[in-house]
Amino acid sequence: MESVASARVRQLSAGIFAELAARKRQALERGVDVIDLSIGSPDLPPPPWVMEELAQSSRDPGNYGYTVSASAEFRRAVSEFYQTRYGVALDPERQVVQVMGSQEGLTHLAWALLDPGDLVLVPDPGYPIYEASVRIAGGEVFPMPLRPENGYLPDLGRIPEEIARRAKMMILNYPGNPLPVLGTDTFFSEVVQFAKRNGILVVHDFAYSELVFDGHRAPSFLSVPGAMEVGIESNSLSKTFSMAGCRIGYMVGNEHVLRALSTLKSHIDFGVFAPIERAAVRALRAPAGSLETHARLYQERRDALVRSFAAAGWHVPSPPATMFAWAPIPVPGSARTFAIDLMEHTGVAVTPGDAFGRQGEGYVRIALVQPADRLEEAARRISAYLAHRRAAG
């Protein structure tokens, strides 16, 4: 049996991420000291009280059965978090759904809402699961270019009327990945009006909600008047609390949308491991100031990267949020060729921007997932690499 995959799977490609993983593995086998700045997997541990809760709960033999769905305590903790952090009131019974991370949540949401041929507006560049989830569900995508001249926000006025009328859903992501850009209340208000005029559901991926720098805060889409009528918000504990491997998150907002998601999930999964859920509750009820302390660690890494890369001859714009920098490639050629060449000659791994869409060509995404001294070491290697490239013409 040479071809057993469905048509939906055959349209997906492993792409650059698989290629980068293979090249990193080969480099490690050769004894290369790889500095991996390509994947947004937090290297910092969860807060101590979260790990302690997970350890204690794991020792309880009563916590190893099916959980089926989220506990009332988890839903209340999410609601409290939203009220405290964003001033958004949620009904914990009807407006909070637990998911096994943002990837799972967004994929299942597409299954729950889209019929074959339904059209979804997706950001370009954007995180790959946005497009993949739509295509797996049989839907079609219309890319919304995110360009610097518009502050990396989609220009809603340039979306053709026939596309806007046909679209069923729009996916947004602020603070963004790969673009570390903040949304604004003004922009979100425009989105709400656009969605109401065209009958579009807005899905806002808020995974980097707390990794915001320089004393700023990221607004929740749901904090904008009217947003609850047209949208939902997705978040996880992966980035904010360094719980990426725990696979737990939530979707909040419009209860009708979440009811459809809940119905689908009731036929697919049996809930999150209870100790993980209990650890998540502890995380969401974090002590005052702990989230700001966590963000400052990434801010210090950002500063180290921007400063050391500039000294190496590569100007990297200083990101206002997230664990990523989005940088124009410093030499002629394609982003993919540059990323592979950089990996081969320096052992520094970054992700080419075209992995996130056509508009990503000419850029790379650099993840702040190494300590400052490793970022500075990466800069030293890159300095020698760029000097050689420029000398060679």
- What tokens appear for 301 in the block? 């890494």
Q: Supply the pLDDT for residue 12.
A: 78
Cis amide linkage into residue 178, ω under 30° from 0: yes
Q: Supply the pLDDT for residue 1.
A: 58
Q: Supply the pLDDT for residue 8.
A: 82
Q: What is the DSSP string of 5-49?
A: S-HHHHT---HHHHHHHHHHHHHHHTT---EE-SS----SPPPHH
Q: Which domains does the chain have, with CATH numbers?
A: 7-46+290-391 (3.90.1150.10), 64-284 (3.40.640.10)
What average pLDDT does the chain have?
95
> Amino acid identity, residue 166?
R
Asked if 229 contacts 254 with a C-beta cutoff of 8 angstroms, the reply is yes
Q: pLDDT of 16-57, one tens digit each?
A: 677 788 888 998 999 999 999 998 999 999 999 999 999 999
Q: Supply the pLDDT for residue 390.
A: 84
CA nearest to 20, candidates 240, 316, 340, 238? 340
Q: Supply the pLDDT for residue 14.
A: 64
Q: Supply the pLDDT for residue 278.
A: 97
Q: Supply the pLDDT for residue 330.
A: 96
Residue 69, classified by CB atoms within 10 Å of its CB into exposed (0-12), middle (13-18) or buried (19+), is middle
Q: CB neighbours of 233 closer than 8 A, spacing ≥ 6?
A: 203, 204, 205, 206, 220, 221, 222, 251, 252, 253
Low pLDDT (below 50) residues in the chain: none
Cα–Cα distance measured from residue 44 to residue 124, given in angstroms and rounded to the nearest whole number = 29
Q: Supply the pLDDT for residue 5.
A: 82
